[in-house]
Amino acid sequence: MHFYISPRLIGFLIFLFTAGNFPVFVSAQAPSLFQSGIAPTGKIPEVPSWWRAPTDAEYCGSESCRHCHPKEYTEWKTSHHSQSMAVATEKTVLGNFCNAELSHFGKVAKMTQKDQRFYVETENLSGKMQSFPISYVFGVYPLQQYLVKFQDGRVQCLPQAWDSREKKWFHLYPNDPLPPEDELYWRRPLQNWNYMCADCHSTNIKKNFNPQNNTYNTTWSEIHVGCEACHGPGSAHIELAEKFLEAGKKDFARDENGSSLTTSLRLTPKSWHMTVETCGACHARRRSLFPDWKPGTKLMDHYIPELLDTHSFYADGQILEEDFEYTSFLQSNMYNKGVACADCHNVHSGRLLQPDNHVCTRCHIPMFYDTPAHHHHPDSTKPGTKCVECHLPPTVYMGNDIRYDHSIRRPRPDLSLTPEEGGKLKTPIPNACNHCHHDESKGETALWAHQKCREWYGPLTVNEPHFAISLEKGRLGITSDASRQAYQEGEKELISLLHRKDLWPIVRASALLLLSHYHTPDARNAGEKLLNDPNDLIRYAALRVVSSEPHPVRLFQFIAPKLKDPLRAIRLEACAILAKLPVEQFPEEIQTVYREVEKEYLASLDFLADQPESYLNRGIYWSDRKNFSHSLDAYLAGKKLFPRFLPVRNNLGMLYNAMNQKPQAEQEFRAMIQIAPDRGESYYSLGLLLAESPQRLAESTEFLQKAAEKMKNDPRVQYNCALALMKQNKRPDAALHLLRAWKLAPENPDYPHALTILYIQEEDWENALKIAENLAARWPEQRSFQDLLEYCKENKKNNYKK
């Protein structure tokens, strides 16, 4: 399925087809066991009927709500939602455009105004200064951004922003020069409003991207976040309200039909998680999946939220990258005990229901918590007395935008201790105490904070270790330089989290997503047990884990039932996984279901046609289905629209090679090097391709050496480079690469085995025997290693006699 690509790593992700491991396309033979009937198992709760969106309602605009809901309308009108986006006018533009300037790495942007229009002079795609008219403004406080619309319908976000608090211009990336070739440069896709921003800043967005001519014709019902962005299209509601008024009824809101909106966002024991999902559709770091989300629709029918398996979060779940609130809130005790956004926030004004601590003491008894006996900060004029400072520590994003971590956790300075101080994490994480107290000259260290917490609150009463320890080990176990021991330990730790009843579902789902990188029977068995879990995130993550099942029949038995899952994210994931099998040989009933889900899957890719990952996934899908013509078309289309997106080019090169079109494959790999000369994977792919031609071995070795230099921590790259050098009798250089590979992955016998062969070729029997002894001792079940040891012993003995 689709995957998120970090802005800084967009050209450096691990490809789904490993470079150099060229796929061999053969006709699959269907196991006869596919003929056994497979029916969905488990009882997954469906969305209540009262929550489902009316399919025939239309958007009417926020003004249509004003007459009957004047209080709510007035509150909304002053909110940031109502000012989330606007046409650039003298009334909406806050920045100083009176010949203002902003310097950034020697480039001076100029902000001017002429004839009631606003302009920013900045770099164009050629690196030259050009004046661009401002079409729209984004937000009001604490910053305002400015957008430029181009003839092809693209709307791009400028990096020059206005600080509404300090009344000054600033650059959103102050530490990065961002030349035109940078992926974060303002004209590149990552700064494109139509895809990256519009969905959450306006109401009823339709991207209307045309891949044939690479243009947008994006439309909206309201340019800002209106009432219907949260409540759904209101025509049915208005019609019903008018009928009630005509009939003389006054209690419309209590009618058994509800309000006939998609959702009224009322808080009930049954609906609190759905109201949070309604907010989470925008207040989450997530990737899009399917078009036309409406409030009241299950979040994972249209989006997939990012969880704690990525490095967007610290190992304990604290926010690291720009993560918004949803994933954090799902970690909180409050959410998991029925608290929703509207319990603390006025959803119309966006403000807190009460100022400062009063919003917390609506539920938490002030005499216990809003007192120095609890927070130990007696001076209320200084930091430390506000609940949010300790339990929702802030992080600044976009230069000046303070965001609060909504996991609402207690401070854990013990997790900030270094291993030398007794800390349990290899990489310590921040804590709320040292957020304010960070003067080491005064002794304000993590150890000091930990000791203070023990002094004030006593030792930790939790018996189980913090899940951060297991998540960190799970992350470390799948890094390229992880040892076999680290791999096994990471897997064991992640599986242990799945059995802990004290952990909330999001933590267990995150453990599963990490476990999906451990392609072992134990991992798959753990995932299989959770395939029918009632929690959406856990069920989705479990599916990812079992997708590595190598046996076709078992894979079919695991995945086929998920084609009928009520959640679209799971159905589409199942479709992509099953594409690896001969679909035509499924039972007829499953084939029928598969064809329907396939339509959804391809529609999802069509919806994301303005994103390069769509073409990558489409190409992989059709390759899995053995339709290489469609796969080639997908990669070529992706290359045309996104010539700098290297994963598409990489897979295109591999496909060309598999089709025995080696000149075209070489052309793609060379183009990749030209686009990103510092990227080692491109040299590696080209080196392995050239190595297939014996007469080009020297040229191949040159590229493999460059790859090894740029990918020093990848043992397989070091190994392949060494093999190429050995073929050219450059054994001393080869030995260095093999030793590095062995050090990086000491549990892999390939590397010491190759090193033994090298020393044998050099007739260095002493070193050959030493490594052969190691091989035979560590892998006694390998008969070939025992034979190798005897061979080395005999030759060392004979050479000693000479």
Q: What is the mean pLDDT of the chain?
A: 88
Among 707, 692, 745, which residue's Cα sits nearest to residue 753? Answer: 745
CB under 8 A, 24+ apart: contacts of 121-129: 122/158, 122/159, 122/160, 122/186, 123/180, 123/185, 124/180, 124/187, 125/180, 125/187, 126/180, 127/179, 127/180
Neighbour-count burial of 52, counting CB atoms closer than 10 A to its CB (0-12 exposed, 13-18 middle, 19+ buried): middle
CA distance 251 to 270: 23
Whether residue 218 contacts residue 201, with contact meaning beta carbons closer than 8 Å, is answered with no
CA quadruple 683, 685, 688, 692: dihedral positive or negative? Answer: negative
For residue 602, the Cα-to-chain-centroid distance in whole angstroms is 21
Query: What is the arithmetic mean of pLDDT over 88-97?
Result: 96
Mean pLDDT for the stretch of residues 254-279: 63
Distance CA 235, CA 550 (A): 51
Find the mean pLDDT for residues 135-148.
96
CB atoms closer than 10 angstroms to residue 544: 21
Q: Per-residue pLDDT tens for 541-598?
A: 999 999 999 999 999 999 999 999 999 999 999 999 999 999 999 999 999 999 999 9
Rounded CA separation 760/767 (Å): 9
pLDDT in tens, 305-324: 999 999 999 999 999 998 89
Q: How do residues 209-237 score in pLDDT, each as one tens digit? A: 999 999 999 999 999 999 999 988 888 88
Q: How big is the CA angle at 286 (ends 284 and 291), to the nearest 5 degrees?
A: 110
The answer to whether the beta carbons of residues 211 and 224 sit under 8 Å apart is no
Ranges of beta strands (E only) in 359-434 are 394-397, 401-404
Q: What confidence tier does 255 reach under pLDDT thresholds 50, 70, 90?
A: very low
Mean pLDDT value of segment 723-735: 94
pLDDT in tens, 66-78: 988 999 999 999 9
Are the C-beta atoms of 560 and 38 separated by less than 8 Å? Answer: yes
Asked if the model's pLDDT at residue 678 lies above 70, the reply is yes
| DSSP state, residue 519 | -
Quick check: 269 pLDDT over 60?
no
What b/e sequence results for 716-755 when a residue is b if at least 16 CB atoms lie within 10 Å of its CB, and e otherwise? bbbbbbbbbbbeeeebebbbebbebbbebbbebbebbbbb
* CA nearest to 314, candidates 423, 462, 415, 453: 415
Residue 640 CB contacts under 8 Å (≥ 6 apart), including other chains: none
> Which of the two residues, 167 and 238, has the higher pLDDT score?
167
What is the bridge-based pairing of β-strands 168-171 and 160-163?
A: antiparallel
User: Quick one: residue 648, left, alpha or beta (phi over 0 = left, psi -120 to 50 = alpha)?
Assistant: alpha
Instruction: State yes or no: pLDDT of 120 exceeds 90.
Output: yes
Q: Which residues are bridge partners to 303 per DSSP?
A: 288
